[in-house]
Amino acid sequence: MSISVTFNSAHRIPLASAFFMARRPVVDRQQNLAAHELLFCNFFATAAPVAAPAEQPASASVLSDVYAHGLTRVIGDLTGILYIDIDALMSDIFQFLPPQNVVLEIATLRNPSPQVIARLTELGAAGFRFALVVNDDDEDVRKLLPMVESVRIDITGRSAADLGRLCAAFKAQQKRLLAERVETIEQFRMCLDLGFDLFQGYYFLNPEILEGRKISPSQQAITELMSLIASDADNADIEHSIKSHVSLGLNLLRLVNTPAISAHRIDSLRQALMVLGRDQLQRWLQVMLYAEPGVHGRSILPLMAQATTRGRLIELLAQKLRPGNRSFADTGFTVGIMSLMDTLFSMPMEEILKQIPVVEEVGEALLQRQGYYGKLLSLAEHTEWKTKNDAQLMQATRELNLSYNDLYMVQLAAFEWSDHVTRCMH
């Protein structure tokens, strides 16, 4: 069963609302993926210069779209944290949402009305869980605390002392703490020491370049095999290379015997090579590079999920923009999944490209974000919303003549594929 998207059929089911969506990773104290936070911004159809699209809580109509197209396609088997507005809170959309799969995130309300309190109580009784976005421990926050499971604190610009004061206050109320916008490993360690339970941010994407860093033996075996494929070596040489690294051969057989690859049992490397073909083998070797155990104390799964999402997203965008050009789409996948290898290897990208040969267009995209592949990679990075305001996202979609509907459908397929692959490789 291959997970894919058909654009013609997708366009027959247009979104009712015009929005962009970001799925931001949330990790636990062991740095394993624990949840996905979903944020939204309005899409402005004007061709004029745009204002930056600030993240906004989801309206009832947006939630309806997310539900209609499959919430599990967005969040997989993890928890989805939905940042919602008051109109959505008071709507009837929650009769369709599974309470066990979502946490409803709400901004602190000034003087919350009896109707809002009653609604929170009603939904809580139905099994829904709430997170409260807080800036301080004030009277309005205290009114809502009894009804929420956790609090979300944006750590931007806050000192350790200030954060420690808030953590102590909310821990005393037995609330789980989610640190928002953790962008460096130093910030993660600080929040870990302060007692935060969950961490949203992209600190794990930032490369820690280590002088003299060497690729591990298993990763070296994979890169050598990738070089053989790139040089158009004989199948016998490729098979011999795999057999000389037992763990690589076993992992490859395990991978090809998943539903995403083959519905029939594959027992030999020769058969696996025939089933996969060289292009697909190259793709799965790229994925397998991210299947190493934790790097420098970090869990690798969040990085793998992000890299495979980028790869699949760019592949599907390439397929959408240049239909029928399989080679173009395959190269797009390579650009996306290789874009985080500097983080994976703790090495400069220039050094990595000396060991893993790529065509000039791929190198330009990875090093300078130049060329058509560079534009696609930049768009994929913008969809991650590392900043609160990202006007570049809308600008990039206009330049590529993509609608918000196009992008959303591609994101759904990329999330679904990445989640499936990450589970298979774990």
User: Residue 331 is encoded by which pair of tokens?
Assistant: 């190269």
Contact status, residue 314 vs residue 340, Cβ threshold 8 Å? no
User: Residue 407 is encoded by which pair of tokens?
Assistant: 């992008």
User: Of all residues in the chain, what percent are helix, strand and coil, respectively (each to 5)?
Assistant: 55, 15, 35
Per-residue model confidence as pLDDT tens for the chain (426 residues): 233 333 333 434 566 677 888 899 999 999 989 999 998 877 654 444 444 445 677 888 888 888 888 888 899 889 999 998 888 899 988 888 889 999 999 987 888 889 999 999 999 999 999 999 998 888 888 889 999 999 999 999 999 999 999 999 999 999 999 999 999 999 999 999 999 999 999 999 888 777 767 777 788 888 888 888 888 888 888 888 888 888 788 877 877 777 666 667 888 888 888 888 888 888 888 888 887 654 444 455 899 999 999 999 999 999 999 998 888 999 999 999 999 999 998 889 998 898 888 889 999 999 999 999 999 999 999 999 876 556 778 888 888 998 888 899 999 999 999 998 888 766
Contact status, residue 223 vs residue 355, Cβ threshold 8 Å? yes
Classify domain 7-202 at the CATH class level.
alpha beta
Phi, psi values for residue 198, rounded to 5°: -135, 155
The reported pLDDT for the residue numbered 276 is 80
What is the residue whose two structure tokens read 């420690």? 164
The reported pLDDT for the residue numbered 9 is 36
Phi, psi values for residue 32, rounded to 5°: -95, 150
The reported pLDDT for the residue numbered 297 is 43
Domain ranges of the chain: 7-202, 217-425
- Cα–Cα separations (whole angstroms), residue 64 to 53, 67, 88, 95, 103: 21, 5, 10, 11, 16
The reported pLDDT for the residue numbered 386 is 77
The reported pLDDT for the residue numbered 293 is 53
The CA dihedral of 66, 70, 76, 79, to the nearest 10 degrees, is 50
The reported pLDDT for the residue numbered 228 is 86
* CA distance linking residue 278 with residue 82, whole number of Å: 41
What is the residue whose two structure tokens read 């025939």? 274
Q: Name the CATH superfamily for 217-425.
A: Hypothetical protein af1432 (1.10.3210.10)
Phi, psi values for residue 215, rounded to 5°: -70, 140
The reported pLDDT for the residue numbered 326 is 87
The reported pLDDT for the residue numbered 223 is 86
The reported pLDDT for the residue numbered 26 is 95
**Nearest by Cα to 196 from 210, 178, 212, 183:** 178
Report the b/e string of 62-97 with b at 16+ CB within 10 A: bbbbbeeeebebbbbebbbbbbbbbebbebebbeeb
Residue 208 CB neighbours (<10 A):
12
The reported pLDDT for the residue numbered 119 is 94
Q: Residue 198: which region, alpha, beta or left (left: phi > 0; alpha: psi -120 to 50)?
A: beta
pTM above 0.85, yes or no: yes
Q: Where are the alpha helices (DSSP H) in 23-113?
A: 60-68, 71-75, 86-90
DSSP letter at 56?
B
Amino acid identity at 412: L
